[in-house]
A = this chain, B = another copy of it.
Amino acid sequence: MAQALAAGKCLNFWLLLPTIILPRIPMPLPFPVLSATDAAALIQNGQTVSFSGFTPAGAAKAIPQALAARAKLEHEAGRPFQIGVVTGASTGQALDGELALAGAIAWRTPYQSNKHLRAAINAGQTRFFDMHLSTLPQQVRYGFLGKFDWAVIEASDVTADGKIVPTTSVGASPTFCHVAERVLIEWNRFHPTALRGLHDIYEPLDPPNRLPIPLNDCHAKIGTPYIQVDPAKIVAIVETHFPDDVAAFNPSDPTTDQIGNNVADFLAAELRANRIPPGFLPIQSGVGNIANAVLAAVGRHPDIPPFSMFSEVIQDSVVDLIRSGKCIFATGTSLTVSPPVLKEIYENLDFYKPRICLRPQEITNHPELVRRLGIITINTALEVDLSGNVNSTHVMGRDMMNGIGGSGDFTRNGYISIFTCPSRAKGGKISTIVPQVSHTDHNEHSVQVVVTENGVADLRCKTPHERARLIVDHCAHADFREALHQYFDRVTGGQTPATLAAAYAMHEHFLKTGSMHGVDWTAAGL
C-alpha cells in the first residue's frame, strides 16, 4: 500500500493526458486505484469519516458498503469497529442502511432518513445529533466536530492536480475535502464526465475574514466547476458504476393535490395583493410527495408567472417544470430524481445544464442568500400546534423521524414561510393539528402560513389566540375541530391559549388508545 501511495505521488501530467483527450476510454489514473475493500481497509475503528451525498444522490456507495462488510467481519472476530459518519444530509441504503445494519456507526450527523439507521438511533445504539444543514460546513471548519480523518467523495471526473467534479450532489463535500486529512474518491462511471459545468463550488472564508457571498440572483455562478483538493491528500481512487438509489416518484393523491392547489391559490392571491412582486420570487420546496404535488400545482396555476427554484433538492417535479418552461432555472445542492428522469437529463444535457446548478449546501441554504433573494419557502410539517409552532423531527416528542434538515435555514429567512401537511395521519387516528407540538423545530415567530387539504391559515400579524382559531377552522380535519376548540375556547387570558396540564392530552390519548379521538379534556386537567 505504501508503495502504491508513493507511486500515486509520482504520477505526472503526461500520464493524465489521455484523460483529457479521450475522456471516456479507460486510461491510467493519476492516483492509485484500489478496490473498495482495499480502500475501506485504510479506515480505522474510531475515525471520523465524511462522505459525499445529500439524499441518496451523489453519495459515496462502494466504500461504505465495503466498510459495512468489514465491520461485520471485525464484530464477528470480537473486535470493535465503529466510525463517526458525517454527510451532507441523508443518504441511501448503500451508505446509511448498510453501515447501520452492520452496527458500524458510532455517531451520525447532520440528517438521516434510512429506516435501519433510524431504528439504531431510536434504540440508543447510534448517537445522532440533528443540525441545521447550512451550519454543518462552517461548524466543521470551526473545529466544533473535531478532527476529520477521511473524506470519501463520489466523483464524475478527477484530474491529477486534485480537481474533483461531483456527481448528482455537492452537499458538504468541498468542506470535507478541505478539512479531512486524507481523501478517497469513488469515480462513478455511471455519470458522464460531461457533468462538468453543472456545479458551482464556492466555500466562504471563516470569520473574521468572511466576505459577502457575491450571489445576487439564482442563476449566477460564483465559484469553480470542481472541488479543488490538495492532490497529496488523495490516497486512492475506487472505480465504480453505481446509479443513485433514488426511490421512484410517488404519485400524488387527492389530498396532496388539494394541498398543492391551496398553496398555489394562496401565492396567486399574494401576487394580486402586491405582497409578492410581479415577477414572482424564487421558490424553495421540501422533499417528498406533498412537495412534488405543491410544485406541480404552482407550476400549472395560470396566474403565477415562470419562476426560479432556489432549493436544496431538485426533485422530479422540478425537472417537469423546467421542461415545460415554467421553471426558468433551478439551484439545488442535489439532483435527486428517479432513474428515468435522470436518464432524460443525461440524454439532453445541452438543454438541462444551462438551467440547473448544483451548489454546496452552505450556499443553497445560506441565511444570507435565502433572505437576500427573497425565497418563498414551502416545507412539510409532522405536526402543527395552535400557535403555529411546527414539529418536523420527532414522533410523540421522543423518536427521531429524519431530522430538521434545511427547513430551519429556509423557514427562518424566507420572504414568506409556508408549512404544509395533511390534516390527519395514521389512517385518520392522528390529528396533525395539536394543542401543542411534542417537539418544536420551527416556532410561531418563523411560521407564517399553514396549509392542509382543508385550507390556509395565514398567521402573519395574528396573536396566538387568533392563530389558534384560524388553524383549527381552516386547517384541522373536521373530525378533530370540536376537540381542538374545546382546548382553547375556554382560555380567555394570556398571550397564548395554553393549558400545560392538557397540552399533550391528545398525544397521551393516542399513546394509550392508538387514536387521538375521544380525548377527555376534563380528566386531562383542562
Residues of A within 8 A of B (CB): 109, 121-124, 127-132, 139, 142-146, 206-208, 210-214, 216-217, 273-275, 277, 279, 281, 366-368, 371-374, 389, 393-394, 396-400, 404, 408, 412-413, 415, 436, 438-441, 443-446, 460-463, 465-466, 491-501, 503-504, 507-508, 511, 525
Contacts and interface: CB of A to CB of B under 8 A. Distances in A.
Contacts of A460: 139, 144
Contacts of A275: 142-144
Pick from A273, A367, A525 the residue with the most CB of B within 10 Å.
Answer: A367
Nearest to A308: B208
Contacts of A366: 371
Nearest to A409: B412
A469 to B, nearest CB: 13
Contacts of A279: 208
A443 B277 CA distance: 32
A495 B394 contact: yes
B374 A130 contact: no
Nearest to A503: B504
A500 B508 contact: yes
A208 B404 contact: no
A404 B372 contact: no
A208 B142 contact: no
Contacts of A503: 397, 503-504
A277 B209 CA distance: 10
Given A213-B212, A441-B445, A445-B441, A500 B396 contact: yes
27 contacts: A124-B494, A129-B461, A129-B463, A132-B445, A146-B461, A207-B281, A207-B372, A207-B415, A208-B217, A208-B279, A208-B281, A210-B374, A211-B216, A212-B368, A367-B371, A368-B371, A389-B440, A397-B500, A398-B491, A398-B493, A408-B446, A412-B412, A440-B440, A440-B443, A441-B445, A503-B503, A504-B504
A129 B371 contact: no
Contacts of A504: 500-501, 503-504
Nearest to A439: B496
A250 to B, nearest CB: 26
Contacts of A440: 389, 440, 443
Contacts of A144: 275, 460-461
A368 to B, nearest CB: 4
Contacts of A443: 440-441, 443
Contacts of A397: 436, 496, 498, 500, 503
A251 B122 CA distance: 47
A446 B132 contact: yes
Given A122-B495, A124-B493, A503-B503, 19 more contacts: A121-B495, A124-B492, A130-B444, A132-B446, A142-B415, A146-B461, A207-B374, A208-B217, A208-B279, A210-B371, A393-B495, A394-B498, A397-B436, A397-B496, A398-B497, A398-B499, A408-B445, A438-B500, A500-B508
A142 B271 CA distance: 11
A211 to B, nearest CB: 6
Nearest to A370: B367
Nearest to A217: B208
A444 B143 CA distance: 19
A132 B408 CA distance: 14
B500 A277 contact: no
A11 B279 CA distance: 41
A372 B132 contact: no
Contacts of A373: 207-208, 210
B511 A507 contact: no
Nearest to A218: B208
Contacts of A500: 396-398, 438, 504, 507-508, 511
A121 B413 CA distance: 27
Contacts of A439: 496, 498
